[in-house]
Structure 1
Amino acid sequence: MQCECELPTSYKNRPIEIYSFVDPLCPECWGLEPVIKKLQIEFGNHIRLRHLMGGTLDYWNSSFQKRKGFSSKEDVAKRWEITANRSGMSCDGDVWYEDPIQTPYIASIAVKAAELQGKSNGVRFLRKLREELFLQKQNITKLDVLIGCADEAGLDVEEFKKDLQSESAVKAFQCDVKTTQEMEVNQLPSLVFFSDTSDEGIKITGMYSYEIYVHILEELLGELPRKCPPPPLEYFLKKYRFVATKEISEVYNLTERDVEKHLKKLVLQQKVERVPVKHGTFWRYNGGADS
């Protein structure tokens, strides 16, 4: 039986396949969200994005304890605050003082359990996990928090609870870890771009400006496809429901001040709620359910 995580052999209708190696607890991965959204909006017809849980024991040890100068929860919390200021995506490091995470791999297994209900459900669940962790300071390795995220993401909660304890979710996570090792991904986030014109992918590690990723697409495709314009702002908010000022400013090429101006009318119409967080602002759409 072929492992689901093996490299694709055909790209007929998807010229660029992007493997996104992330971890729910990685603040830099969270910080890359605005760029990912923009790539999907502008080049959604030319790319296919796949999230792989890239956390390994070596990664967690280096991130939380042993390497890069992080030797305590205080150092991890400081790293989160620095990342928040750099990326524009709020990370509240106080969770490491209030309810420090002891078993980080559980969150990754939970994502794979959610994906058993479909890839789109897995993506929504991953987003909810990140919001709970980075904004609400919730320990996303606790069962009650995971179940709450599953409910908010629209999953079948009873099915999720079964899958969370299943061998299938563990094997799916192990498959992701195997791919991470085979591709020699040792830092998160990492994006690996594959095309049908090359047997080897282009790997880029860390957070970079949007233009860097567009340049890679152009290099792989030979020429840059015509970009799709972003949708009307209210449609964007309706689709994603809860987004950061940074995500809006990235997608629409607006300053943060301009974002505030554009959303003022929707706030007055009570379609959108302004949600201050530790670093910056998020916006919640209340104008009706998405169709």
Structure 2
Amino acid sequence: MYVFVDPLCPECWSLEPYIKKLTIEYGRFFTIQPIVSGHLNHLNKDQFDKPIKLRDIWEKTAKRTGMSCDGDIWIDNPISSPWIASLAVKAAELQGKKAGKVFLRRIQENAFLNKLNISEKDVLLQCAEEANLDVNEFENDLYSASAKKAFQCDLKLTQEMEVDYIPTIVFFNQMSDDQGIKISGLYPYDIYVRVLKEILQKSPIPSEKPPLEDFVAMYGSIATKEVAVVYDWTVAKAEKEMKKLQLKRKVSKLPAKYGNFWNYLL
């Protein structure tokens, strides 16, 4: 699965619950390859100089999808060089694909929830620390030729696969010569499952979901919305179950503009 994303795209952020659920239920059948695509969508490309417009887009997406993103960042602390965040993801990936995925999540959290300017070096170093990267190595790699080349490769792949909107997922079956299937935009979960089954040419049984505490521990930080999607609960039910973990001092609550996030306490 190639997942084409932009760290600052609110729809990419809103795809997170479905990616987690796909991974939990069917992750034994695929690997995820995040591709950093830059600012493809017209509302990303043309409007970084229109902060009020960007704020409104973020706020509407949060209300529609349930994944909180605070659009006030574009008024209070606008991100000056959005492409630096994409380059930083590739620098993080030089420490391994898993490290890159965790780092991507941390910069998304800091942008969408904490309203931090993730094009600033100090913020990126903070994200690297939160992602348990080797911070010195990350700092050396940030503007390196290797990171720039990796970013250019992602942009080239985006072009070759004719991806013109993000998020986009392209499903490939390595055991088949058939063309991949491309899904652009945000869709209900069952659409992704249907496409996965078509690519696999079979209907696999979904894996059993882990206990909630194990799920939160796996990711470290989780939104109530993500819990609701993964466990097929209402948001109210998910909130109630997370509060039980909070009472057991397993998680701490991070109130966001739209809904809550939870940090796992080691």
TM range (shorter): over 0.9
Q: Deviations over 1:145-193 (max 9, x none)?
A: 0000001100000000000021000000000000001111111000000
1:188 alignment partner in structure 2: 166
CA contact 1:64–1:72 (8 Å) conserved in 2: no
Select which of 29, 41, 45 maps to 1:46: 29
Question: Relative to structure 2, which stretch is displaced further, 98-107 or 143-152?
Answer: 98-107
Instruction: Tell me which amino acid in the other structure corresponds to 2:189.
Output: Y
1:257 alignment partner in structure 2: 236
Question: Relative to structure 2, which stretch is displaced further, 27-36 or 270-279?
Answer: 270-279
RMSD after superposition = 1.4
Q: 1:109 aligned to 2:87?
A: yes
Distance 2:180 2:199 in 1: 9
Q: 1:235 aligned to 2:214?
A: yes
1:8 alignment partner in structure 2: none
Select which of 75, 88, 97 maps to 1:97: 75
Determine which structure has the larger helix proportion and give its number: 2
Distance 1:199 1:139 in 2: 42
1:66 alignment partner in structure 2: 46
Q: 1:30 aligned to 2:8?
A: no
Give the SS at the match of 1:176. helix
Select which of 227, 241, 250 maps to 1:248: 227
1:6 alignment partner in structure 2: none
Select which of 137, 146, 152 maps to 1:168: 146
1:3 alignment partner in structure 2: none
Instruction: Tell me which amino acid in the other structure corresponds to 2:190.
Output: E
1:204 alignment partner in structure 2: 183
Distance 2:242 2:79 in 1: 36
Percent identity between matched residues is 52
2:96 alignment partner in structure 1: 118
- Once the two structures are TM-superposed, the CA of residue 260 in structure 1 deviates from its matched residue by 2.1
Distance 2:92 2:8 in 1: 16
TM-score, normalising length from structure 1? 0.88
1:136 alignment partner in structure 2: 114
Q: How many residues in Structure 1 have an aligned counterpart in Structure 2?
A: 265
CA contact 1:24–1:107 (8 Å) conserved in 2: yes
1:10 alignment partner in structure 2: none
Give the SS at the match of 2:31. strand
1:156 alignment partner in structure 2: 134
Give the SS at the match of 1:45. helix
CA contact 2:80–2:117 (8 Å) conserved in 1: no
Q: Deviations over 1:117-143 (max 9, x none)?
A: 000000000000000000000010000
- Once the two structures are TM-superposed, the CA of residue 71 in structure 1 deviates from its matched residue by 7.0
1:270 alignment partner in structure 2: 249
| Residue 225 to residue 80, structure 1, CA distance change in 2 (3 Å) | same
Give the SS at the match of 2:187. coil
1:214 alignment partner in structure 2: 193
Instruction: Tell me which amino acid in the other structure corresponds to 1:33.
Output: E
Distance 2:45 2:177 in 1: 38
TM-score, normalising length from structure 2? 0.96
Distance 1:65 1:187 in 2: 11
2:261 alignment partner in structure 1: 282
